Structure formats: C-alpha cells, structure tokens
Structure 1
Amino acid sequence: MKQLAIPFLFLAMPAYAGTCPEPADRSGEITNIVRQLTLAPNEGAAAAWNAKLWEIWLDAPDALSQTFLDRGMAQRSYSNFVGALANFDALINYCPDYAEGYNQRAFAYFLQAKFDKALVDLDKTLSLSPRHIGALSGKALTLMGLERDEEAQEVLREALKLNPWLSERRFLKDGPKEPGVRL
C-alpha cells in the first residue's frame, strides 16, 4: 500500500517546471549572529540569537521550495516519515544547493535511527553551510548513534565553538560543560 501512497502524494503537490533560484547569501547575517551567540551572557539571550539562525536556515529560496520544506516538517512532526521524506526528496531535487533540505531529511532519518543515511545528508548540509550549528550538533548526535564517540566529541566541540549554549554540551565527555567556557 505504501508504494501506491507515494505517487498520490505528488499529485497533491504543485507541478513545477524550471529551476530553483539560488539560495540567498546570508553569510554576513550568520557571521553576526554566531558572534552574538559566543558573546551571549545567558541562555535566554543565546536562545533568541539561535532562533534568528533558524529563521535564516528555514527561509527557502522560493514559494515552491518553502511548500516542500513546510510540508515535510509538518509530516515529520506527526511521524509520517514516508510523506516527510517524499517532500524533502522533492525539495532536494528541486533545490540541490539549499542546505536545509538535506538537514531536514537528515533529521527524519535520525528519528528513524537510520544514522548512516542521516550522516550522508548532514555532511552535504555542512558542505553547503559549514557554520550550520544545527547540522553540526545533529552530526555529533548521529555519530554517537553510530558509536563513533571520538568523532562525535570533535564535532560537538566544533558546534560549541559557534554556540557555547547548545543543550548538547551535556554530552561533552572531557572539558568544561558550562556555557560560555571557551573550548
């Protein structure tokens, strides 16, 4: 029955022709926000800056790509992984240079404990957006799921250099776990 559901899912999606526009270059904004995260005096201030990063990352290049992203995230939130993955696949096919498509698909794979597939998508996310803190912390957790703890610790330290307030800091094995402490 699942095999029949996927083609019908695409009938509900708008038909598209053409190509996805290039994702906007928001590296200047990201640099400023990361700087603010490293200077944040408390968790509340850091959370506000982190939310601004997610606003940037979740801003798809056009209306169609935003539709794929929003539908995929909504379906994933209801554990409809077949539908979520179909939307993220469509997003990636349409916008192969949009990092968040890969990141969101990685999260869907992670939630299903498909860590090998998640890792491939996280690496692609980071190749397109090297300072994607969500992808870095997700990669650390994925590596932990794969029992590659040494690598996970390295990636977690990278993420904490960008945002020392990450909740994932509790997984740091050696070194300071207090926010704001330089690693």
Structure 2
Amino acid sequence: MRHCVLSACLCFLLLAAPAAADEPRQATVRIPASDRLEQLFADLKQETNEAAARRIAERIREEWLRSGGETADLLIEWARAAVSEEKYHVALDLLDEVTVLYPDFVEGWSSRALVHLMMDDYDRAMADLSRALAIEPRHFGALSGLAGILRAVGREEEALAVYRRMLEIYPMQRSAQRAVMRIVEERTDERL
C-alpha cells in the first residue's frame, strides 16, 4: 500500500508540475523561514489582543505546513480528505508516508497524532506528539493535544504543567487559559 501511495504521489507531481519555462526568473528577497518563525513567535508572545494573536498563530501554522514540501502537502491534503470521510486507516497510511519521507516535518507528526486521537489511540498519539515537540518545542497544537490526553487519563498535574508551558508561548490561547482555571479550581475544591 505504501509503495502504491508513493508511486501515485510521484506520478501526480510529475504530471502536475509545470514544464520548465524559458521565462526569466524575478529576483525576490526571501526571509528565511526560521527567522519568520522566530519573529512570529515573538509577536505571539507579546500580543494582548485575542483576535490578533489568533491571526499570528494561524501564520505560524502556515509556516509549519509550508516546511514540508509539495509531496508532503499533497499527502496531508489526501489524509485530511480521508479523515473527513472517516477513513482513518487510509489517513494513517498517507501520514506514515509523510513521516518516513520527511522525518523533520513537524506537521506530519502532529497530523498523524490527531488521527490517532480521533481513533482514541492515546499511546500512539502521545508518541507522535512527543516527536512533534522534539522537532518544535513551541508547537502549541501538539502541547494542547498532549495536555488534553493527560487530562483524559487523569494526570491533571502534568496537564497543568503542559498548559502553563503552552501559555508561555501563546498567552492569549483562551482554551488553555480556561483549562488552567478549571484544573486549579478542581484542585482547590478537593482541598476544601
């Protein structure tokens, strides 16, 4: 199955790739992705407006998605389509290809973790989230998923630490703020 998927992807990319044109290339000045990400994370940490912070977070997600390449983009697109049809095993096959071909592509691991979560496979989801966080420790989506799993399995203290870490990176993330408040309130209620 994996070889068939890879072959289909390569054929599609070859057929869809534009022919080499004799047009002159325009010179563009590009800011390295790592510099853009650093600036976006600095902006996210300083932003006090929730809507503006959400826009910055979306730009960060776009940077993460852009870092895989065209083949990774295509495989992830197909995996998302499979998920929307609840064909989770197909999505996993596609995302397995992404993680094999692009082992440092954080969104491959994060996307695969999400599918494992949809299938209630917390162990595999945690393994993929751990890999995503090893690549990008500031991946607030992976931190959120990890904290959610920890809460679901009753490890509230660890979940609280992960949510707090997430808020250091993305202070205006309302769901993390609410989760921290709920955990702290529950702990307070238990002590009374």
| TM-score, scaled relative to structure 2 | 0.76
1:168 corresponding residue in structure 2: 176
In the alignment, is residue 95 of structure 1 matched against residue 102 of structure 2? yes
Shift of 1:95: 0.9
Shift of 1:107: 0.5
In the alignment, is residue 14 of structure 1 matched against residue 9 of structure 2? yes
Contact 1:115 1:145 in 2 (8 A): no
Other structure's SS at 1:97 match: coil
Q: 1:28 to 1:82 in 2, by over 3 A?
A: same
Describe how 1:120-159 pairs up with structure 2 within 5 A.
120-159=127-166
Q: 1:9 to 1:79 in 2, by over 3 A?
A: farther
Distance 1:35 1:67 in 2: 30
Contact 2:9 2:74 in 1 (8 A): no
Contact 1:106 1:119 in 2 (8 A): yes
Structure with greater Cα Rg: 2
1:33 corresponding residue in structure 2: 40
Contact 1:60 1:69 in 2 (8 A): no
106-115 vs 37-46, greater mean Cα deviation: 37-46
Q: Which runs of 4+ in 1 moved over 3 A?
A: 6-9
In the alignment, is residue 110 of structure 1 matched against residue 105 of structure 2? no
Query: Share of identical aligned residues, percent?
Result: 28
| TM-score, scaled relative to structure 1 | 0.80
Distance 1:110 1:85 in 2: 12
Q: 1:31 to 1:151 in 2, by over 3 A?
A: same
Aligned partner letter, 1:95: Y
Shift of 1:100: 1.1
Shift of 1:67: 0.9
- Decide which of 52, 58, 76 is 1:51's aligned counterpart: 58
Q: Can you give the 5+ residue segments of structure 1 that lack an aligned partner in the other structure?
A: 1-5, 17-24, 176-183
Contact 2:147 2:163 in 1 (8 A): yes
Distance 1:91 1:8 in 2: 13
Shift of 1:92: 0.7
User: Alignment length, in residue pairs?
Assistant: 162
